Amino acid sequence: MKDKIVLITGASSGIGRALAFSFGREGASIVICARKAEALQTVSHELRQAGITVLSLTADVSVEQDVKQLIDQTIAHFGRLDILINNAGISMRSMLIDTDPAVIQKVMDINFMGTVYATHYALPYIQQSKGSIVGISSIAGYRGLPVRSGYSASKFAMNGFLEAVRTELLHTGVHVLTACPGFTASNIRVSALDAHGQAKGETMRDESSMMSAEECADHILKAVKSRKRELILTGQGKFTVFMNKWLPGLMDTLVYNTLAKEKDSPLKSR
């Protein structure tokens, strides 16, 4: 990663923040972006304290012009771009029947269209460097999760989009990685939207035994170095993807029963 330029969206906390440190410690220069300027500045300061070169830019990935400016500013500052990590994302948690469709639209705009905008505007520079495009997806992109229909839809869309882009770029030397963490200790559950688009403000799962954001980031770094096509993390995640392919009916029941045990789950435990 020495002297590589790495752009990470949604880098003010969680996996994005951890990725900035993982790639930065390997010698990369990091561009971090997020909507929350204050949190972004805190991470920027922490990275500099660790001796990592960083450019901090405020941007909302759901706004196309923001993303175009983000790429333009990165190129103006560093002159190149080697790795784009589409990490910005938001979740939601409510039954479809109760959910305002505008909530699902917002999730799609951030998780999916944010990836589309960043990949589109970064692609000419990634092609020049024969670099990498990374999408931080989810096991929910392989197996639809109840009470998270909008989130699952956004990650299924991301997976299909990146698969299509990977195939388009097959003979260009560009690497495309779809990275799918399982349940990871991060703030995505705390900021998950409810049926009316308000942040829930608390996690509904015990995060003490989950993979840490730092461990997740280290796995993603290794996958980029080896130019892997796909990365599925955690034993539970690998089991879910495998079983959903071969025994989808059984997985309907297993997934329902597992998520019904969450704190304040609207699913009826059976």
pLDDT in tens, 180-201: 997 776 666 578 998 988 887 6
- Unique residue bearing structure tokens 């779809």: 178
Catalytic residue (one of 117, 125, 151, 256): 151
Q: CA-CA distances (angstroms) from residue 223 to 6, 132, 143, 161, 234?
A: 15, 11, 22, 19, 14
Tokens representing 166 are 């990977």
Q: Is 151 a catalytic residue?
A: yes
Q: CA-CA distances (angstroms) from residue 224 to 83, 128, 230?
A: 9, 17, 10
pLDDT above 90 coverage of the chain, percent: 83
Check whether 270 has a pLDDT greater than 60.
no
Q: What is the pLDDT of residue 86?
A: 98
- Average pLDDT (31-57) is 95
- Average pLDDT (39-58) is 96
Alpha carbon of residue 249 to chain centroid? 28
Tokens representing 43 are 């991470």
Check whether 264 has a pLDDT greater than 90.
no
Query: Coil, helix or strand for 226?
Result: coil
Q: What is the pLDDT of residue 268?
A: 80
pLDDT band with cut points at 50, 70 and 90 for residue 211: confident
Task: Give the C-alpha separation, 14 to 43, whole Å.
Answer: 11
- What is the value of pTM for the model shown? 0.92
- Average pLDDT (150-160) is 97
Q: What is the pLDDT of residues 108-146, one digit of tens each?
A: 999 999 999 999 999 999 999 999 999 999 999 999 999
Q: What is the pLDDT of residue 205?
A: 54
| Domain chopping of the chain, boundaries | 5-236
Sign of CA dihedral 239, 141, 59, 9: positive
Considering the four listed CATH numbers 3.30.1360.120, 3.40.50.720, 3.40.640.10, 1.10.1500.10, the one that applies to the domain covering 5-236 is 3.40.50.720
